[in-house]
């Protein structure tokens, strides 16, 4: 048996943390995997040098995950077609708005029978077609089976080897073992299940709730209020998933991708930071001074907040299906991001939540 060749499509903070894990795991299991892992890096110039060159010399993504060494068998390449060439397992870890165009570039180069694995949080919104799962876009564009990996995995903590769990979902049980072996480490505990769409839905929706948690933090509320936002958010995540996927399977919400990722996101996530910053920014600069693009520049050093985009995708779906009144938390968060609602009125939007009707 020849070892599987693995490629990484994407190299942000999370992509680099995953590159660290995957790089070492393929090295330690030569009977299962090829040693070389190509990693597609969107080329940038950092202090006059190419980011790919820096990564390949210093074995560190100095821009998005500084101070963390990536195994030298992970090779950064600026060409996505080169990266995916001959790969058996393609790990996608890009901002969700770039997935479709990236897949279209790759389409002719992907090996038939390859397995995709998406770590991407969000939906793809196409004018006239509504929202679609990222894994379906990958599957349909590349004609490959696509699994997902989601969990309570704040990237910098994973990179620091702090104990955590994750959830992989793959329809085909034959791939469960190899996926587990590609990612499992003593500090990164993998559970593999089958419900791909359910896991992916959790991973997208929790980012919206994270903004809500940040808003209550910014407003000075305590742990009870935040717990209520997390629970009401979870209820809306479950209801949305049920309607959107036509699925009654709630077990996925008990996995790491569900409640655990939601809790981590609402306490240490990037979108929580955004919610808090929106309130603080409003206090400092007034309502007209709140600008999400500006906050991204100030807080994220070039990374983006995925939450507002996802909130818009959900809002569009709910509006099209005439269901806005059943999702007051999602709707309020979208409208706060678009400055239609003052964040100080957030709690008012939750007071008579459908969940409180006896």
Binding residue ranges: 10-15, 98, 121, 155, 270-271, 306
For residue 267, state whether it binds a copy of itself (rule: CB under 8 A).
yes
Size of the site for a copy of itself (CB under 8 A): 51
How far apart are alpha carbons 305 and 296 in whole angstroms?
A: 7
Does 235 bind a copy of itself (CB under 8 A)? Our answer is: yes
DSSP state of 324: G
Distances (CA, A) of 301 to 161, 296, 298: 23, 7, 7
206 included as an active-site residue:
yes
Position 225 contacts a copy of itself (CB under 8 A): yes
Minimum distance of a copy of itself from residue 176's CB (angstroms): 6
* CA 110 – CA 9 distance, rounded (Å): 12
Q: Which of 222, 284, 293, 325 binds a copy of itself (CB under 8 A)?
A: 222
- Per the residue annotation, which of 4, 20, 63, 206 is the catalytic one? 206
Nearer CB in complex with a copy of itself: 264/309: 264
What is the distance between the alpha carbons of residues 171 and 260, in angstroms, rounded to a whole number? 22
CA–CA–CA angle 162, 164, 168 (5° rounding): 140
Cβ contact 297:262 at 8 Å: no
Which helix (DSSP H) or strand (DSSP E) does residue 25 occupy?
A: helix 13-28
Residue closer to a copy of itself (CB basis): 118 or 166: 166
| Part of the chain binding a copy of itself (CB under 8 A), chosen from 27-35, 120-128, 252-260, 296-304 | 252-260
Question: Which of residues 57 and 162 has its CB atom nearest to a copy of itself in the complex?
Answer: 162
Q: Rounded to 5 degrees, what are φ and ψ at 65?
A: -145, 65
- CB-based contacts of 268: which residues, under 8 Å, 6+ apart? 154, 157
Task: Tell whether residue 234 is a contact of a copy of itself (CB under 8 A).
Answer: yes
Q: Least distance in Å: CB of 304 to a copy of itself?
A: 20
Give the bridge partners for 89, in sequence order: 6, 115
CB of 350 to a copy of itself, least distance (A): 7
* Residue choice 39, 125, 137, 230 for contact with a copy of itself (CB under 8 A): 230
Tell me: does residue 162 bind a copy of itself (CB under 8 A): yes
User: Per CB under 8 A, does 349 bind a copy of itself?
Assistant: no
Could you count the other beta carbons within 10 Å of the beta carbon of residue 30? 10
In the complex, the smallest distance separating the C-beta of residue 242 from a copy of itself, rounded to whole angstroms, is 13
Beta strands in the chain (DSSP E): 6-9, 37-40, 45-46, 49-50, 74-77, 89-92, 115-118, 123-126, 130-133, 145-150, 164-169, 188-193
Q: Please, are residues 11 and 19 in contact by the beta-carbon 8 Å criterion?
A: yes
- At which residue do the structure tokens 């929790």 appear? 206
Q: Tokens 């209801």 correspond to what residue?
A: 239
Q: Which of 157, 249, 291, 342 binds a copy of itself (CB under 8 A)?
A: 157
- With CB under 8 A as the contact rule, the residue among 228, 252, 279, 329 that binds a copy of itself is 228
Minimal distance in Å, beta carbon 231 to a copy of itself? 4
Cβ-contact 115, 87 below 8 angstroms: no
CB 201, CB 237: distance < 8 Å: yes
* Mask for 300-339, x = binds a copy of itself (CB under 8 A): ----------------------------------------
Q: Based on the shown chain and the rule CB under 8 A, indicate whether residue 164 belongs to the binding site for a copy of itself.
A: yes
> Which residues have a catalytic role annotated?
206
**Which residues in this chain contact a copy of itself in the complex, by CB under 8 A?**
152-154, 157-158, 160, 162-165, 176-177, 180, 186, 189-192, 221-228, 230-232, 234-235, 238, 250, 254-256, 259-261, 263-264, 267-269, 347, 350-351, 353, 355-356, 358
């Amino acid at each position: 048996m020849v070892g599987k060749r693995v490629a990484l499509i994407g190299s942000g903070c999370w992509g680099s943390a995953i590159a660290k894990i995957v790089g070492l795991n393929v090295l330690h299991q030569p009977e299962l995997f090829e040693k070389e892992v190509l990693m597609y890096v969107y080329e940038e110039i950092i202090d006059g040098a190419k980011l790919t060159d820096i990564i390949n010399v210093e074995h560190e993504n100095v821009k998005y995950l500084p101070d963390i060494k990536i195994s030298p068998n992970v090779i950064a390449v600026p060409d996505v077609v080169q990266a995916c060439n001959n790969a058996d397992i393609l790990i996608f870890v890009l901002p969700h708005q770039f997935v479709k165009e990236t897949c279209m570039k790759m389409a002719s180069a992907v090996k038939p029978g390859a397995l995709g694995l998406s770590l991407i949080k969000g939906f793809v919104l196409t004018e006239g077609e509504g929202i679609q799962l990222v894994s379906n876009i990958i599957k349909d564009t590349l004609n490959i089976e696509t699994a997902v990996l989601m969990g309570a995995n704040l990237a910098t903590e994973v990179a620091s080897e702090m104990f955590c769990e994750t959830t992989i979902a793959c329809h085909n049980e034959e791939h469960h073992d190899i996926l587990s072996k590609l990612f499992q480490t003593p500090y990164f505990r993998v559970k593999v299940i089958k419900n791909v769409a359910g896991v992916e839905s959790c991973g997208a929706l929790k980012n919206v709730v994270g903004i809500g948690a940040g808003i209550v933090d910014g407003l000075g509320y305590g742990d009870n209020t935040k717990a209520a936002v997390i629970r009401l958010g979870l209820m809306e995540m479950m209801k949305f998933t049920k309607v959107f996927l036509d699925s009654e399977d709630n077990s996925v919400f008990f996995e790491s991708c569900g409640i655990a990722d939601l809790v981590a996101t609402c306490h240490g996530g990037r979108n929580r930071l955004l919610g808090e910053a929106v309130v603080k920014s409003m206090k400092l600069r007034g309502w007209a001074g709140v600008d999400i693009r500006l906050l991204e520049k100030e807080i994220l050093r070039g990374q983006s907040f995925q939450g507002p985009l996802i909130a818009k995708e959900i809002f569009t779906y709910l509006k099209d299906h005439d269901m806005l009144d059943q999702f007051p938390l999602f709707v309020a968060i979208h409208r706060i991001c678009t400055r239609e609602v003052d964040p100080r009125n957030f709690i008012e939007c939750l007071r008579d939540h459908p969940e409180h009707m006896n």
